[in-house]
Structure formats: structure tokens, C-alpha cells
Amino acid sequence: MEEKKKTVIEVRDAKKVYRMGQEKIKAVDGVSFTVEEGEFCCLLGTSGSGKSTLLNLMAGIEKLTKGEIIIKGKSIGKMSENKLAKFRQDNLGFVFQSYNLIGSMTALENVEFPLVFKRVPAKKRRKLAVEMLKNVGLKGRMQHKPKEMSGGQQQRVGIARAFVARPAIVFADEPTGNLDSKTTIEVMDMLKAMARQNNQTIVMVTHDRKLTEYADKIINILDGKIESIEIQANSKEGKFPEYEEPAVPDKKAEKKGKDGKKSKDKTSKSGTKDTAVPNTGDTGQSQGAGGFDLAYETEKLEAAAQKLLDEEKAAKLAEQGESQAGAEEIKDGFTEFVKDDKSSLE
Ligand SMILES: Nc1ncnc2c1ncn2[C@@H]1O[C@H](COP(=O)(O)OP(=O)(O)O)[C@@H](O)[C@H]1O
Ligand SMILES: [Mg+2]
């Protein structure tokens, strides 16, 4: 299998230092390696070893303290914010441990979301999203909102969303971290099968040695450094689910189209992001500052959600009130955005 593989990611002496008052934390401490096209690469290490930081550096979410990261021949550290946002949108997909689906949107809308920001026309968008959801065995759940689905189903939506725009590279940070062992295997199978189908590259963070059976390359991380790199010639291949979720009566079909009022987003569970996202308006080719970028925004949303959870308890009800307002805003923004071609959204 020693074909002439093309390098898609090159990490050169990457360093990330966090300053905590007087203390310096070397989260990533001089790391170099490459990831080849179509490779399933695992970053493996214990908690706190620097895996997520490294992944975030590779995805351009965190800034390097030192070193260089080259993706598809471009040094991402040298790009402006706008360029980087556009680059991410064109080349990268993301799968998160807590799914990061937008709580006020259906499965279908969540999968369409990245395509909206890529200005893909409505009909095509819908077609692609439906196809993806069928692939992940969720044909019968397209109109479900995240909290009406199990964790495994939500992550399958997350995978469909990550792959729908056919990114060259998909980054996944502990994508099965919140799932039971049976669902973990289903999700891993799907992730691998999905990537292999179009020769897409995966970089996945995990602390779970078992999951590396799917990996072509394992980067062992310890204290911010690479301990060893393993190549696996016969990694476990994945498969798409041969079953389909049973179809359920489509309640949304009856109240067709607008109003969106009916849904009562009572809780803001982890994994759903009932928080405001900036509306792109309808001129927005430009990303960055005023634009929407899923990677950045979900990161921010994640942080915001965590803060909410921390502060929660006593102020629970009040905060949920805010979340509700945020959810409505997203929904309105989305509806606004697609309204010119809504005939094809039926
Ligand atoms: N934003 C941050 N500020 C300060 N320290 C951080 C930050 N993010 C991560 N760290 C520290 O960097 C180290 C690596 O963290 P992380 O990359 O999250 O590890 P892992 O994903 O392997 O569990 C840890 O010591 C962590 O506390
Ligand atoms: Mg981590």
C-alpha cells in the first residue's frame, strides 16, 4: 500500500504555550508529523496531554505560539482571519464530542446549515442533506430536533453535517466521548466508511486505545510531545448502517412551512446549542468578522454553554429564558436567509 500518497497536513515544530498568570503551560511542545490524503489519523493520549490543543491548532481554531502548519500547501498561520474562515469553510469539517447541533433546527436543517453558508442553492442543498441523512440511517428522523433524538442519532446528524460539503479534511475531537460502547462502534464505523467513500482525511482525537483500530496512523501524545507514531496497514474498515430508523409520523409536515412557533424548547441540554448565532444577512460572501463560521461559532457556543452550565443551578430558569430567545433568533435568521427560495424547501 506504499503508493505515492499526497501529504495534506504538515505540522512543523508546532508549539502552543498558555500563560496562566506567572505559569506557562506548554500544551503542545514542538510537534512535527504529516497526515496523508485519505488517511484516518488518531491523536491518542491521556487527558491533559494536549490532543485537543493540537487538533485546534491544525484546524486553525487556536493560534500557534511557534512553528508552522501547512494544509493543502497553505500555511494556515499566515492567513488573515477572513482567508482562514473561507479556507475552513471550503476544506474542513468538524465533529464534536457534544455534537454541537443547533437545538432549534431539525436534523435536516442542521445538515443543510454548512451549505447555506456556502451559498449552495436551496434545492441542491436539500438534496445533498437528505442524501447524507439517508446514508447515516436517519431517513425517518429528518424533521426531528436534536433533543428528540438519542445521543447516537445526534452524532450521526453531526457526521452528516461534517461531510455534507465534501471537505477534504474532517477533524473530530472525541466524537464518541458521550456515547455507550455499542453506539460508539456504530459511529466509528460510519465515520470511517464516510471518509473512505470519498477519500477524505480524518484527524480524530481520542483517549481510548480501542478506537485506534480504525486508524491508519496513530500519533501517541504525552505531555505535549509525540511519544511515537504507529502506522497500521490493516486498520479496521467501517460500514454504513444497513438498517434504517423506522419512519415516524411526520408531525411537522402538517404544520408545514412557517410559524416555527410550536416548538417549545424547554431545556438546553448539552449537545444542543440554543444560543444566538450571528445572521449572515443576505449579501454575505465575506466570512470572518461579520460572517458565520461553524468551527469558530461552535467553539464560542461551546464555551458559552459551558459557562452557562457552571453558573446555572440557582439561575437556571432565567438562563433558559435567554437560551430560548437565542434559539428563536437562529431560527429566524435561518428562515430569513432561505426565504427567497422557500418553494423548494417544502
Ligand atoms: N485555554 C487554555 N488556557 C490554559 N491552559 C489550557 C487551555 N487549554 C488547554 N490548556 C492546558 O493545556 C493542556 C492540554 O490540554 P488539552 O489540549 O485540552 O488536552 P487533552 O485534549 O489531551 O485532554 C492541559 O494542561 C490544559 O489544562
Ligand atoms: Mg481534549
Long-range CB contact pairs, 119-122, < 8 A, 24+: 119/285, 120/165, 121/341, 122/338, 122/341, 122/342, 122/344, 122/345
Q: What is the pLDDT of residue 66?
A: 97
Distance, CA 332 to ligand 2 centroid (Å)?
Answer: 33
pLDDT band of residue 65 (cuts 50, 70, 90) is: very high
Q: Is residue 53 domain-resident?
A: no
Q: Is residue 300 domain-resident?
A: yes
User: How do residues 144-177 score in pLDDT, each as one tens digit?
Assistant: 999 999 999 999 999 999 999 999 999 999 999 9
Q: Is residue 183 domain-resident?
A: no
As for ligand 1, residues whose beta carbon falls within 6 Å of it are: 18, 20, 25, 27, 45, 47-53
> CA 248, 249, 250, 255 torsion: positive or negative?
negative
Distance, CA 67 to ligand 2 centroid (Å)?
Answer: 21
CA 125 to chain CA centroid, Å, is 18
Q: What is the pLDDT of residue 98?
A: 94
| Angle at 3 (CA atoms; ends 38, 7), nearest 5 degrees | 45
Q: What is the pLDDT of residue 333?
A: 46
Q: Which atom of ligand 1 is nearest to the CA of 51?
A: 22
Cα separation, 222 vs 199, in Å, equals 29
Taking 70 as the threshold, does the pLDDT of residue 12 lie above it? yes
Cα separation, 124 vs 171, in Å, equals 25
Q: Parallel, antiparallel, or unpaired: how do β-strands 201-206 and 40-44 relate?
A: parallel
* Number of folded domains that form the chain: 1
pLDDT (mean) for 23-42: 97
| Angle at 300 (CA atoms; ends 195, 325), nearest 5 degrees | 110
Contacts of 146 (CB under 8 A, 6+ apart): 99, 101, 102, 103, 105, 107, 110, 154, 157, 269, 271, 272
Return the closest-CA partner of residue 42 out of 257, 188, 197: 188
Question: Which residue's alpha carbon is at the smallest distance from atom 14 of ligand 1?
Answer: 50
Q: What is the pLDDT of residue 245?
A: 62
Q: Which residue has the higher pLDDT, 158 or 308?
A: 158
Q: Which atom of ligand 1 is nearest to the CA of 50?
A: 17
pLDDT band of residue 327 (cuts 50, 70, 90) is: very low
Q: What is the pLDDT of residue 295?
A: 53
Give, for ligand 1, the residue of 53, 58, 204 to mutate: max count of ligand atoms closer than 8 Å to Cβ.
53
Taking 50 as the threshold, does the pLDDT of residue 291 lie above it? no
CB-based contact 52:69 (threshold 8 Å): no
Q: Is residue 277 domain-resident?
A: yes
pLDDT (mean) for 260-283: 40
Bridge partner list, 219: 43, 229
Give the CA radius of gyration of the chain. 20
Q: How many CA atoms lie within 13 A of 35 on its CB side?
A: 29
Question: Which residue's alpha carbon is at the smallest distance from atom 2 of ligand 1?
Answer: 18
Q: What is the pLDDT of residue 77?
A: 92
Taking 50 as the threshold, does the pLDDT of residue 61 lie above it? yes
Question: Closest ligand to 56 CA?
Answer: 1
pLDDT (mean) for 241-269: 52
pLDDT > 70: what percent of the chain? 69
Contacts of 126 (CB under 8 A, 6+ apart): 108, 112, 344, 345
pLDDT (mean) for 315-323: 48
Give, for ligand 1, the residue of 15, 25, 56 to mutate: max count of ligand atoms closer than 8 Å to Cβ.
25
Taking 70 as the threshold, does the pLDDT of residue 286 lie above it? no
Q: Is residue 272 domain-resident?
A: yes
Cell numbers at 261, concatenated = 412557533
Question: Which residue's alpha carbon is at the smallest distance from atom 7 of ligand 1?
Answer: 18
pLDDT (mean) for 4-33: 95
Residues with CB under 5 A from ligand 2 (ion): 52
Distance, CA 156 to ligand 1 centroid (Å)?
Answer: 27
Q: Which domain holds residue 326?
A: 251-345
Longest CA span, the chain: 61
pLDDT > 90: what percent of the chain? 65
Q: Which atom of ligand 1 is nearest to the CA of 55?
A: 17
Cα separation, 224 vs 39, in Å, equals 22
Distance, CA 130 to ligand 1 centroid (Å)?
Answer: 37
Distance, CA 48 to ligand 2 centroid (Å)?
Answer: 7
pLDDT band of residue 270 (cuts 50, 70, 90) is: very low
Q: Is residue 288 domain-resident?
A: yes
Distance, CA 175 to ligand 1 centroid (Å)?
Answer: 18
Q: What is the pLDDT of residue 311?
A: 40
Q: What is the pLDDT of residue 4?
A: 72
Question: Closest ligand to 51 CA?
Answer: 1
Question: Closest ligand to 48 CA?
Answer: 1
Question: Which residue's alpha carbon is at the smallest distance from atom 17 of ligand 1?
Answer: 50
Q: Is residue 218 domain-resident?
A: no
Q: Is residue 185 domain-resident?
A: no
pLDDT band of residue 242 (cuts 50, 70, 90) is: confident
Return the closest-CA partner of residue 270 out of 309, 314, 319: 309
pLDDT (mean) for 267-272: 44
Taking 90 as the threshold, does the pLDDT of residue 313 lie above it? no
pLDDT (mean) for 264-291: 37
Q: What is the pLDDT of residue 5?
A: 83
Taking 80 as the threshold, does the pLDDT of residue 248 lie above it? no
Return the closest-CA partner of residue 160 out of 199, 134, 127: 134
Question: Closest ligand to 173 CA?
Answer: 2
Taking 90 as the threshold, does the pLDDT of residue 258 lie above it? no
